[in-house]
Structure 1
Amino acid sequence: MKPRSIVFDLFGDYIRYHGGEVRLRTLTALLECFDVGESTVRVVMARLRREGWFDTRRDGRETVYALNDKSWRLLDEGRTRIFERSREPWNRQWSMVIYSVPESERALREELRKELAWLGFGPLTSSTWVSPHDRLTEIQEHFADQPSIQLDLLQCTSSGLSRDREMAARCWELDSLDADYATLLRTYRPRMRSYRAGSLAPREALVERMKLVHDYRMFPFRDPNLPEELLPTGWHGREAHDLFLQAHEALKAPADGFFVEAAGTDRVA
């Protein structure tokens, strides 16, 4: 767990519900639980501020950190992807993006590909990406001010469900993703009894909950949340998501209690 990832997870799961800002000394005490030293915390927070993630203010002799509006929007978007998974019926409509970017604009092309992947599109070919979800508007709005990108945005259907499944297998590495979901289940399923029984000390619960988020957080960015019709037989993704939600909730009370104690008040700043 990298210190900067711990910082963002603390804001997403705790600090946002206790004033939305945090004193540096409080943040230092919390990261000590993850064996991150004070000097490292200071370096990380200074770097994140320079990168434009945080605003700061002075409270006496102390520095108080708060995410800015842009950072909160990105954090909320990521949190939605992690905690909310659509299970609506599929109408068998594919959203298709065909793009053309000048060779001189390689950075822009990479940004486009990252945005497509973020929204759950997969590469049918290098410049043709598809998704079973209707997210063409998001792509159009995101790159509306980039005239060097030519976008053809289409909605279409294939010749049949067998072709749909073949397309999904080409666009996403579903077998390896499913294997990683199975590993997550093997790791956390045996721990659920102790979580529900409240067997962990509050500090342990906070660390365990943060590790849980860390271990699960990248799955939604690899997993396009495909309709059931396109999933391989025996798919573990939905079971893994349900287990994640249950474990996250089971650890909430003791982890929250430790956070409030570490902060020294029911409001952090």
Structure 2
Amino acid sequence: MSAVLDDMDSRPGSTTSLLRTVIGLYLRDAGGWIAGRDMVSLMEALGTSATVTRTALGRLRKKDVVRQENRDGVAGFTLTAGAAAMLARGDRRIFTPRSMSDSDPWCLVSFSIPETEREKRHQLRRRLHWIGCGTVAAGLWICPDTLRGEVEEILVDLDLRDMATVFVTRTPMVGGSLRDAAAKWWDLDVVAGLHRDFIDFIHGQGAAVPLPDDGVEASASSFATYVQCIDRWRVIPYLDPGLPGSFLPDDWPGAEGTALFSRIVDAYAGPSAEYVRSTLGVAVP
């Protein structure tokens, strides 16, 4: 079983969560290695002390996200192989939010796992939930067909592939409305709340999201704004399956949240990378 999971248990805004976000955004583009002192400098721009940062780095080492590696006598950190794959999946989710149309296919996952494997059954349900699957019944889960590859990876990783059957289907036929069914299969109130919290957080930053032609300078401030916004956003595209409008309530905030996120990336990704480049002394795209 893989030792590295997509860790969504860290509270957004916490030191561990912010550090994971910084690592996900910049460690790979910095050549796969960052000196510990430079990581401390980046986290100081986020208001985190060196002592707290080193403690968080220790936690991520225990989670098998990073490993310590010295280069030319300088202590630093690099990604583990499992973490690199995890972050690649995260990139696809975070920067390409899902959005289904009514004609897109669905994936159904049916499984029957004996009580002797109850821990694997628990892990399967947990991981299906964290990639945005909905629960039709205890042993029957549903998700957009675009997630089928990740479902297969989870089943193989947990050594449960021979205990599950995966179906590809058209729009499910339900006894009531599709909106009522979706509200039972997914906790849409939680997902909507995440979108609204993100929107409120961004608006609470005042003028932190400029118009595209305003321009943002590379600085510790622009770096901090970008990292904090990504950190607040990154859990949403995991839990939000991107359902068609026919499955969602009329006041669904997903479109507004996604548009706001895209605006932040357009305005801040470049200046933030420039700040990291100046801090590390390496080329960061």
In structure 2, distance between residues paired with 1:202 and 1:68: 30
Q: Which residue of 2 aligns with 1:105?
A: 117
Deviations 1:2-28 (A, max 9, x none): 323222211222232222210011111
Q: Which residue of 1 aligns with 2:9?
A: none
Tell me if 1:96 matches 2:108. Answer: yes
What is the aligned counterpart of 1:255 among 239, 264, 272?
A: 272
Aligned pairs for 1:21-40 (under 5 A) are 21-40=33-52
Q: CA deviation at 1:74?
A: 0.1
In structure 1, distance between residues paired with 2:101 and 2:211: 36
Q: CA deviation at 1:122?
A: 0.4
TM, length-normalised to structure 1:
0.85
Q: Which residue of 2 aligns with 1:169?
A: 183
Tell me if 1:64 matches 2:76. Answer: yes
What is the aligned counterpart of 1:17 among 11, 17, 29?
A: 29
What is the aligned counterpart of 1:158 among 172, 180, 195?
A: 172
Deviations 1:99-144 (A, max 9, x none): 2222233321121112222332101122221124254454344324
229 and 48 in structure 1: CA distance in 2 versus 1, 3 angstrom threshold: same
Q: Which residue of 2 aligns with 1:228?
A: 245
Moved more, 218-227 or 172-181: 172-181
Q: Where does the alignment leave 5 or more consecutive residues of structure 1 unmatched?
A: none
Q: Which residue of 2 aligns with 1:119?
A: 131
Aligned letter for 1:25?
R
Tell me if 1:243 matches 2:260. Answer: yes
152 and 8 in structure 1: CA distance in 2 versus 1, 3 angstrom threshold: same
Q: CA deviation at 1:151?
A: 1.5
Runs of 4+ in 1 over 6 A off after TM superposition: none
Aligned pairs for 1:171-250 (under 5 A) are 171-189=185-203, 191=207, 192-193=209-210, 197-198=214-215, 202-250=219-267
249 and 125 in structure 1: CA distance in 2 versus 1, 3 angstrom threshold: same
Q: CA deviation at 1:201?
A: 7.2
Classify the secondary structure of the residue corresponding to 2:115: coil
Moved more, 53-62 or 209-218: 53-62
In structure 1, distance between residues paired with 2:124 and 2:32: 32
Moved more, 52-61 or 242-251: 52-61
TM, length-normalised to structure 2:
0.80
Deviations 1:14-62 (A, max 9, x none): 2322222100111111111233222333333234234322233322331
158 and 112 in structure 1: CA distance in 2 versus 1, 3 angstrom threshold: same
Q: Which residue of 2 aligns with 1:146?
A: 159
RMSD: 2.8
Q: Which residue of 2 aligns with 1:129?
A: 141
38 and 147 in structure 1: CA distance in 2 versus 1, 3 angstrom threshold: closer
187 and 7 in structure 1: CA distance in 2 versus 1, 3 angstrom threshold: closer
Aligned letter for 1:14?
Y
Aligned letter for 2:165?
D
Aligned length: 267
Aligned letter for 2:159?
Q
Moved more, 169-178 or 195-204: 195-204
Aligned letter for 1:227?
P
Q: Where does the alignment leave 5 or more consecutive residues of structure 2 unmatched?
A: 1-12
Q: CA deviation at 1:73?
A: 0.8
Classify the secondary structure of the residue corresponding to 2:28: helix
In structure 1, distance between residues paired with 2:260 and 2:178: 29
